[in-house]
Amino acid sequence: MAESTELQARKTIHAGGEWRAAVSGATREILDPADALPFAVVAEGDEKDTDLAIAAARRAFDEGDWPRTPVTERAALLRRVADLLVRDRERLGRLEAQDAGKTVEEGRVDIDCVADAFRYFAGLVAGEAPGRVVDAGSPDVHSVVVHEPIGVCAMITPWNYPLLQASWKVAPALAAGNTFVIKPSEITPMTTIALIDLLVEAGLPEGVANIVTGPGHSVGARLSEHPDVDLVSFTGGLISGTKVAQAAAPGVKKVALELGGKNPNVVFADACATDEGFDTAVDQALNAAFIHSGQVCSAGARLIIEESVRDRFVAELARRAEKIRLGRGTEDGVECGPLVSEQQRAKVEAYVESALQEGAVLRSGGKRPEPSPQRPENGYFYEPTVLDHCHREMRVVREEVFGPVVTVETFRTEDEAVALANDTEYGLAGGVWTADAGRARRVAGRLRHGTIWINDFHPYLPQAEWGGFGKSGVGRELGPAGLAEYRETKHVYQNLAPKPVRWFAG
């Protein structure tokens, strides 16, 4: 926002082209999870603020020019936004790190990925044909299938990747010609607020982009149920996603849900047959489980390893986990930051305690670290934790922990590995490590997860659809399918030589 006074800092609701305070005047302090100290104040919106934003988006869609703007112009605006993100990369990366607790390097990479998303969807719509011609079997008929914007889109985003997850919704929605109201997580809203400023700077018309900062029980619920909202896109936990779907159901709205995951990382012994292979598999298992302190929906939180290499692999994994440098994400040399909140840390601690009571063996971590200059005493830090001898009946294996915790299960045969990997209510992502190309394809084909990485973990491509099976959600983000979520399909049938049919007397 252009003005930076304390009063203006609380005007974080953007509706109809204007920054506003909450109607109620309520505010919320945003805490740095590294020290639990406030570093920003935002408006705490509610249903009234949400109604104002939805009304602005509705007017902009029904009466404004954006839905009818040529795709080349919409694409050009998205590219300008990408350029502005690159310009502000350092500022936004640091803000993301402070807000969400991740390292600055992770924050910078996130901003790069956000810019990539805007560029991808710009290129996707700019290169499209105007419609798909359908052969009607007559030279007198012109029949074409066209895509149109769906309308007013409600977007509810999570706290772990605030700007990245917002971009996966905002970029395709704008590329398709929609207007939107976005509700970022109430604990990590800062970079999404900044994105609205960049959209305005890039020339987006008033009312097309709207944001309401506030809690899910009021803002999120109202967005989901409001009759003037045409689509609801939600990324977050299973319980909240279920509530969103229930609220949207009476209006028969289109709903896209990207929910949780309990993702297997399957390691076959042949992947560890060489020193280089072993080192790589261990390193990637650390990356799978502990990047962003495990607060990732696609985290490889279930290590499923062949029994013959289990002892050596787990010992090395635990040794390296103990060496991960914890601290404030904005400090040089820090490899892993704090958890996002005290509530999240308490949840992780409860899962580890229950696992130990159920027979798991602690190989590393399992506690809060000692305070240091890089780790303030009040920060929400928790050590990377390896839990060995785990089994499917444990809560820590079945449920999404969303913290720096990896569980270890073992298998002897390929069939057993697949059965373990698929033995989950979720189906978001999974990894397979093997030197056998045939086995890699077989296992990947049998796993019931939306994304399968072979000899890698965590990369994604803007061109490839992202989504899950089972309770990991419905709908897709990224890729052509991600754009399709924000469109309606219309069949236009034109008779070039109409004639009477005379089916009826008269």
DSSP per residue over 112-173, as a string? HHHHHHHHHHHHHHHT--S-EE---S-TTEEEEEEEEE--EEEEE--SSSHHHHHHHHHHHH
Nearest-CA neighbor of 77 among 179, 193, 204? 204
- Whole-angstrom distance, CA of residue 221 vs CA of residue 244: 7
Instruction: Return the DSSP state at 269.
Output: G
Residues in the chain: 506
Residue 179's SS3 state is strand
Return the active site residues: 258, 297
Give bridge partners of residue 185 from the DSSP assignment.
none
Q: Exposed, middle or buried: residue 105 (CB in 10 Å: 0-12, 13-18, 19+)?
A: middle
The H or E element containing residue 233 is strand 231-235
pLDDT for res 9: 57
As a dihedral over the C-alpha atoms of residue 126, residue 130, residue 132, residue 138, rounded to 10 degrees, the angle is: -160
- Whole-angstrom distance, CA of residue 315 vs CA of residue 388: 10
pLDDT for res 112: 98
End-to-end CA, the chain? 68
| CA dist list (Å): 92 to 115, 186, 214, 397, 448 | 12, 18, 21, 35, 36
For 28-79, what is each residue's pLDDT tens digit?
Answer: 999 999 999 999 999 999 999 999 999 999 999 999 999 999 999 999 999 9
pLDDT for res 503: 86
- Whole-angstrom distance, CA of residue 474 vs CA of residue 466: 10
Percent of the chain with pLDDT over 70: 98
Nearest-CA neighbor of 253 among 269, 285, 229, 234? 229
- Whole-angstrom distance, CA of residue 506 vs CA of residue 502: 8
Residue 466 has, within 13 A of its CA and on its CB side, a CA count of 20
- Whole-angstrom distance, CA of residue 50 vs CA of residue 62: 18
| CA dist list (Å): 381 to 32, 34, 285 | 12, 7, 21
- Is the Cβ–Cβ distance between 334 and 327 less than 8 Å? yes
Nearest-CA neighbor of 83 among 110, 56, 109, 111? 111
- Is the Cβ–Cβ distance between 390 and 409 less than 8 Å? yes
Per the listing, tokens 């008779």 go with 495
CA angle 379-382-385, nearest 5°?
170
3-state helix, strand, coil in the chain (%, to 5): 40, 20, 35
Residues of the chain below pLDDT 70: 1-9, 506
Residue type, 306: E
Per the listing, tokens 């203006």 go with 8
- Is the Cβ–Cβ distance between 156 and 235 less than 8 Å? yes
pLDDT for res 3: 45
Nearest-CA neighbor of 406 among 454, 360, 471? 360
- Whole-angstrom distance, CA of residue 410 vs CA of residue 419: 12
Give bridge partners of residue 302 from the DSSP assignment.
264, 407
- Whole-angstrom distance, CA of residue 447 vs CA of residue 419: 9
- Whole-angstrom distance, CA of residue 205 vs CA of residue 7: 25
Left, alpha or beta for 293 (phi > 0: left; psi -120 to 50: alpha)?
left
Phi, psi for residue 186 in degrees, rounded to 5: -70, -15
Q: Exposed, middle or buried: residue 453 (CB in 10 Å: 0-12, 13-18, 19+)?
A: buried
Nearest-CA neighbor of 218 among 459, 24, 498? 24
- Whole-angstrom distance, CA of residue 442 vs CA of residue 438: 6
- Whole-angstrom distance, CA of residue 15 vs CA of residue 56: 6
- Whole-angstrom distance, CA of residue 252 vs CA of residue 465: 24
- Whole-angstrom distance, CA of residue 352 vs CA of residue 355: 5
Nearest-CA neighbor of 425 among 275, 287, 241? 241
CA angle 229-232-235, nearest 5°?
155
Q: How many CB atoms lie within 10 A of CB 338?
A: 30
